[in-house]
Copies of this chain bind each other. A is one copy, B any other.
Amino acid sequence: MQNKIPTIQEIARLLKLSKSTVSRALRNHPAIGLRTTQQVQKLAKELNYEPNQLAISFSKRKSMSIGVIVSSLDPYFHRAVFGIEDCAYANNYSVLISQTRDEYDIEVKVLETMRKQRVDGIVASISRNAPDIRHFEKCRQYNIPVVFFDRVPDVAGINSVWCRLDISTIELVSYLASKGHEHIALINGPVSLPIRNERLKGYYEGLEKNKLPVYEHFVKTADLSTVGTYEAMDALLSHRIKPTAIITFNDYMSLDAMHYLRKVKPGRYSDIDFVTYSSLPTTRYLDRPPLAYVDQFPYEQGKLATEVLFRQLNGLAKAEIMPPENLVIESRLVVY
């Protein structure tokens, strides 16, 4: 009834060898003779032997796994996860993914779980309402390197990979200007997301570069809810001077804003152009999609962050002192 799971000891018993010999033979250790090695490997295959990763991890005090913390596996971070997986798998590591649903409490909890699971390293995009990164401190004690990506906390001494948006935002404004737009609005994300400042900076610089007038009421802040976007749109359109183009924080916001125009103000403002950041794969199916978007390369960010992580891990293994790495990649304006 009960199928036995083959172990190294079992193989050793059958071949009348010691388990250390079997262990080494399975890994082609040079100290083991060819005949013995082949014998062991043959029997291992016959028995369908599969090493117990739990035992290996425990024994080596290395779990061969990295943790990934993201707010949600939405299409954006999903692409990032692909980058992380590709890099991790190439290094024979497995990946433990946790979603925080943008809640600080959950972030603290999953981090604790990952520590207990003894992940070797962590790639994280912090949740929106995390007041600080104290909860990551303990990872230092456990010698678990952490690389932040995309949403990067604004503190020194950490590893980080993110995508600067200011230059692309200037290009974005210039692009709109080249289309004849003079009244360009920006609906930005919540102040808790540092990345919003890049957008703001690029927006103003873009206006200046194109000698466009600056209207303070053209800059709105919205949380990322549908209602929040509606309110921002309301506010935007309540002034005498209306925007002819709107830059939104991301695709979801664009969709909500466009939806607002269609449902709440049907007919009017149908000529407002939208541009946005990141991109849902399905946005291009809209009848009138945003004219352009800024690609933040989530796949590359994930991949780079994981590469940084492995460099840190290798340094750790050699007991080298690893200075933190801070990588910034350039976003890119994509016109549909």
> CB within 8 Å of B: which residues of A?
2-3, 5, 48, 50-55, 57-58, 63, 73-75, 78, 81, 85, 94, 96-97, 99, 112-113, 115-118, 138, 140-143, 252, 255, 258-259, 262, 280, 282-283, 285-288
Complex Cα spacing A54 to B115, Å: 10
In the bound complex, do residue A54 and residue B48 qualify as a contact, i.e. CB atoms below 8 Å apart? no
24 contacts between A and B (CB under 8 A): A3-B141, A3-B143, A5-B141, A5-B142, A50-B115, A50-B116, A52-B118, A53-B113, A53-B118, A54-B57, A54-B117, A55-B58, A73-B78, A73-B81, A74-B75, A252-B282, A255-B282, A259-B285, A280-B282, A282-B282, A282-B283, A285-B286, A287-B287, A287-B288
Q: Which of the residues B2, B52, B117 comes within 8 Å of A53, measured between beta carbons?
A: B117
Contact B141 A48 (CB under 8 A): yes
**Cα-based distance from A287 to B266 in the complex (angstroms):** 12
Would you call B73 and A63 a contact (CB within 8 A)?
Answer: no
**A113-B94 contact, Cβ under 8 Å, with A118-B54, A262-B287:** yes
Q: Which residue of B lies closest to A75 (CB)?
A: B75
Closest residue of chain B to A53 (Cβ to Cβ) is: B116
Say how many copies of this protein the assembly contains: 2
Query: CB distance B51 to A116 under 8 Å?
Result: yes
In the assembled complex, how far is the CB of residue A277 from the closest CB belonging to chain B, in whole angstroms? 16
Question: From A4, which residue of chain B is reached at the shortest CB distance?
Answer: B141
In the bound complex, CA of A53 to CA of B117 (Å): 5
CB-based contact A112/B50 at 8 Å = yes
16 new A-B pairs (CB below 8 Å) besides A53-B117, A73-B73? A5-B142, A48-B141, A51-B116, A52-B118, A53-B118, A54-B118, A58-B58, A85-B99, A96-B96, A252-B282, A258-B285, A262-B287, A280-B282, A282-B282, A282-B283, A286-B286
Cβ-closest 6 pairs across A and B? A53-B116, A3-B141, A255-B285, A58-B58, A287-B287, A54-B58
Complex Cα–Cα for A118 and B65 (A): 14
How far in angstroms is the closest Cβ of chain B from A20?
19
Choose among B52, B112, B141 the residue that contacts A116 (Cβ–Cβ < 8 A). Answer: B52
Q: A50-B116, A113-B94 are in contact. Are A3 and B285 (CB under 8 A)?
A: no
- Closest residue of B by beta carbon distance from A63: B54
Instruction: Across the interface, name the chain B residue whose C-beta is closest to A285.
Output: B255
In the docked arrangement, what's the CA distance between A75 and B283, Å?
A: 14
State in angstroms the CA–CA spacing of A285 and B97 once bound together: 30
Closest residue of chain B to A113 (Cβ to Cβ) is B94
Closest to A99 in B: B85
A204 → chain B closest CB, angstroms: 30
Nearest CB of chain B from residue A100's CB, rounded to whole Å = 11
